[in-house]
Amino acid sequence: MDHMRKRNHKEVNPKNNYYDKFYIINYLELGKRWLDVLKEDFEDTMPTFVDSDEEEEEESWQEWQEDNIDVEQTRVVCLFCEETEDHAAPLLEHMKDVHYFDILGIIEKEKLDFYERVKMINYIRKENYNARCFVCGRDDLGSLQKLRQHYTENDHLSKGLPEKSVWCTEENLVPIFGNDHLTWMLESYVDEKEVSSQNEEGTAVFENIREYLLKQSEVNSVEGVIAEDFPELHDGVLTDLNLYDSLK
């Protein structure tokens, strides 16, 4: 034992065939020692190990790419100049304040649905790219600079869109630029505003009901009887606008 400890002998010599008869693994296949069996098993599982490593490496690379996306790739560009923003809200304000083109106002006024909003953006992009006025159709300006000057001198952008038949076509469902983020960013922003508006409307309805109940409580109060404090209600059933309308 002292010899084994000093020599760091912690296992049986694998090359010594004398001990093979004591291990079941040597009886799995006739004519093969346990070293041969282990070698075959390892070779059979190698492709699995390689595939697993490649998959993990690919997943890690994809995660790295997602975490390190260039900010410039997701910036949204103004319809009428080179101004860019990370989000739709500040860019919409820019177009309204600088170019006097109120996209949200147009959407609300014209009651544009999702596809019509896409067509509107793609139509304006295409006309600007071709240096053609999307409002009056003038096509002899020749450059983007002259087109912008034309917009300013004629106050075209504040006039909104031309007739719907001009721009609301199937052709304008296809964007002229493959990486135009304004379309989906605008939709996300519109959805957020709709949800926020519904929440505010629900809160207003709840407050009206609360005021009504308080007044009714005052009318029906009995002298000498002290009413309990009106409980604070949150997320009441009457904040459901559909249910509230059905009860009218």
pLDDT tier at 50 (50, 70, 90 boundaries)?
A: very low
Q: How many CB atoms lie within 10 A of CB 151?
A: 21
Q: CA–CA separation, 130 vs 133, rounded Å?
A: 9
Task: Provide the pLDDT for residue 69.
Answer: 45
Q: What is the DSSP string of 166-216?
A: HH-SGGGGS-SSTT-THHHHHHHHHHHHHHHHHHHHHHHHHHHHHHHHHHH
Per-chain mean pLDDT for the chain:
75
Segments making up each domain of the chain, as ranges? 12-47, 76-186
Q: CA–CA separation, 115 vs 107, rounded Å?
A: 12
59-106: pLDDT as tens digits:
655 555 555 444 445 788 899 988 888 888 999 999 999 999 999 999
Q: CA–CA separation, 13 vs 34, rounded Å?
A: 13
Helical packing angle, 182-219 and 88-98, nearest 10°: 90
Q: pTM of this prediction?
A: 0.52
Q: CA–CA separation, 207 vs 195, rounded Å?
A: 18
Mean pLDDT to the nearest integer, 51-56:
54
Tokens of 171: 């052709």
